[in-house]
């Protein structure tokens, strides 16, 4: 496949790339950057036309590992907000769990419909130089980026129709339907034809494109907090025909903002009384409230043990060795080896609050050291893993650039893994940072289907 793309004249490739970018811009597949100006300049997420290809066998392995991991994390969340066995049986220290900023005591005792809390998960995966998949990070609150997966695919199909015809690439188009189905079947009291809405912070949010995109693909309404209200512990939406009941809310707002009566009082994005309705079982919230405890970077090192504990299975996916600064001995080691480690702040995402030792200046290392000493609970450290690379267009030729992968797992009454996911690529030579806010781009991810022989069949 790559050879086919490689055989295109350079000029032709450049022309197709321009076409693709124009499509993104015209479709408004953009994110707003607020650091530049007050108004929020819209940018196109840089896109690389050379796909990331994953063989069917590799994918089978990865998918099984992801299913296992989500099952365990789901069980962990149910336990943390329920009986707390994993803590009383010393699988994970109570202070790690209850000290996490993602742990919300208000959620204790709440049993969500179907017992599902991790409706949508995005697990960040890297490959080590030997090609094994390792989990780098779990995202169990509001993992974003899936709209790019679907838009990237649409653009690829338009840009390379011929090449696509010959490839046996598994489709990703049904994501919206799968998610809508999963959420509908978890409506409170098994209601028929429930009203599912997506709750967005509004058009000024940098991910608004994705919220709006998902509303279209899921065929549901996009609402802001001010469109909703709670009365009699039920959630209602204000319509032109008066108040209408709401059954399921796919929230794309941080937990801290969803209900000013319970969490941040200054939140104007949320819905007063929402938590009460949730506690009464009158509304399904996706993802569950309080999921942040399970994707906390300080909990991450315990996940293999949690898999063994809850599922009585060996973990199928490896993960990166992690030092927890909250533990004095490990903290000492981290401080002594800052120059060779990657240090992360436990509750920051997006590549912020991070130290990449091997690339940092002496001053940066010293500054970070004193921040760790002041607040060890906030930091973890990992050896720098040599991310695997994928061929990437650099303007005049293809060259290796580092990539990661975020597959998406959707859970309703059953579980479904989107074949593929968001491949993010560090476009700058030598860079390890794949975040869009810091010079990263994305690629289409092709999971090959080996169950078909001919292209004609593959398309079915």
Partner 1 sequence: MISRVAENCYWLMRYVERCDTMARLLRVHAGMMLDNVLPEDRTWLPLLIVAGEEPAFEERFGAEGVGDGELVQKYLTWDDSHSASIFSSLRSARENARTIRETISLEMWNTLNSLWLWLGEDETREMFDSEREMFYHEVNDRCHLFRGVWHNTVLHEEPFHFMRLGLNLERAGMTARILDLHHHALSEASQAPTEAVDAVEWIAILRTRYAYEPFFKKRRSALGGRGVAEFLLQEESFPSSVAYAVARAQQALERIRPEGSVIGLRSAELLNVLRSTVLNLDVGRAIDSNIHGVLTHIVEHTAELSQVISEEYFHAAVSAPAVGSARSVSDA
Binding site for partner 1 (CB under 8 A): 25-28, 189, 202-203, 208, 212-213, 215-216, 221-224, 226-227, 229, 231-232, 234, 236-243, 245
Rounded Cα–Cα distance for residues 306 and 300 (Å): 10
C-beta neighbour count of 7 within 10 angstroms: 10
Inter-residue contact 292 to 103 (CB < 8 Å): yes
Least Å distance, CB 427 to partner 1, is 24
Give the residue with the Cβ less far from partner 1, 203 or 339.
203
How near is the Cβ of 409 to partner 1 at its closest, in Å? Answer: 24
Taking the complex as a whole, how short is the minimal distance between the CB of residue 28 and partner 1, in angstroms?
A: 5
Shortest Cβ 283–partner 1 spacing (Å): 12
Quote the Cα angle for 69-70-76, to 5°.
90
- Among residues 230 and 334, whose Cβ is nearest to partner 1? 230
DSSP 266-329: T-SSS-TTHHHHHHTTSSEEESPTTGGGTT-TTTGGGHHHHHHHHH-S--SSEE---EETTSHH
Q: In this complex, which beta carbon is closest to partner 1, that of residue 199 or of residue 433?
A: 199
- Of 191 and 264, nearer to partner 1 (C-beta) is 191
Structure-token match 């030598």, residue found: 430
Neighbours of 29 (CB within 10 A): 23
Q: Which two tokens stand for residue 67?
A: 């299913």
SS3 state at 27: helix
Q: Output the smallest distance, CB 241 to partner 1, in A.
A: 7
| CB-nearer residue toward partner 1: 245 or 400 | 245
Q: Rounded distance, CA 106 to CA 273, Å? A: 13
In the complex, what is the shortest distance from the CB of residue 243 to partner 1, in angstroms, rounded to a whole number?
5
CB of 63 closer than 8 Å to CB of 421: no
Cis peptide leading into residue 287 (ω within 30°): yes
Residue number with CB closer to partner 1 (100 or 200): 200
For residues 25 and 399, which CB has a smaller minimum distance to partner 1 in the complex?
A: 25
Residue 139 Cβ vs partner 1, minimum distance, rounded to whole Å? 24
Residue 158 CB neighbour total at 10 angstroms: 13
């Amino acid at each position: 496949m790559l050879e086919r793309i490689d055989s295109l004249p350079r000029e032709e490739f450049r022309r197709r790339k321009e076409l693709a970018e124009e499509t993104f811009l015209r479709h408004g597949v953009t994110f707003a950057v607020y650091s530049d100006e007050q108004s929020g300049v819209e940018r196109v997420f840089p896109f690389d036309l050379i796909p990331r290809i994953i063989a069917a066998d590799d994918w089978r392995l990865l998918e099984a590992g992801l299913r296992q991991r989500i099952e365990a994390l789901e069980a962990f969340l149910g336990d943390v907000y329920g009986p707390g066995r994993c803590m009383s049986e010393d699988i994970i220290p109570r202070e790690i769990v209850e000290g996490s900023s993602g742990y919300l005591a208000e959620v204790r005792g709440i049993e969500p419909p179907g017992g599902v809390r991790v409706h949508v998960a995005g697990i960040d995966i890297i490959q080590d130089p030997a090609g094994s998949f390792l989990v780098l990070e779990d995202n169990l609150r509001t993992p974003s980026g899936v709209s790019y997966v679907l838009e990237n695919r649409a653009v690829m199909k338009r840009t390379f129709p011929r090449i696509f015809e010959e490839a046996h690439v598994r489709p990703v188009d049904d994501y919206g339907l799968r998610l809508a189905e999963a959420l509908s079947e978890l409506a409170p009291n098994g209601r028929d034809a429930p009203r599912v809405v997506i709750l967005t912070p509004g058009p000024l949010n940098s991910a608004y494109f994705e919220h709006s995109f998902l509303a279209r693909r899921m065929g549901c309404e996009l609402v802001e907090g001010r469109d909703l209200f709670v009365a009699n512990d039920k959630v209602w939406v204000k319509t032109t025909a008066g108040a209408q009941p709401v059954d399921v809310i796919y929230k794309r707002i941080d937990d801290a903002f969803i209900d000013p009566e319970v969490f941040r009082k200054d939140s104007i994005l949320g819905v007063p009384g929402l938590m009460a309705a949730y506690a009464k079982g009158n509304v399904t919230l996706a993802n569950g409230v309080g999921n942040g405890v399970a994707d906390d970077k300080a909990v991450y090192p315990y996940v293999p043990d949690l898999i063994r504990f809850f599922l009585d299975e060996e973990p199928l996916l490896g993960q990166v060795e992690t030092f927890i600064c909250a533990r004095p001995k490990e903290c000492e080691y981290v401080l002594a080896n800052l120059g060779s480690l990657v240090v992360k702040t436990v509750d920051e995402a997006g590549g912020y609050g991070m130290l990449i030792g091997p690339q940092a200046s002496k001053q940066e290392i010293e500054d970070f050291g004193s921040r760790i000493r002041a607040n060890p609970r906030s930091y973890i450290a990992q050896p720098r893993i040599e991310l695997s690379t994928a061929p990437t267009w650099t303007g005049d030729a293809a060259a290796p650039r580092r990539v990661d992968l975020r597959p998406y797992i959707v859970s309703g009454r059953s579980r479904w893994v989107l074949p593929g996911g968001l491949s993010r690529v560090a476009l700058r030579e030598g860079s390890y940072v794949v975040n869009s806010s810091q010079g990263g781009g994305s690629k289409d991810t092709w999971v090959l289907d080996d169950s078909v022989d001919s292209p004609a069949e593959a398309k079915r």
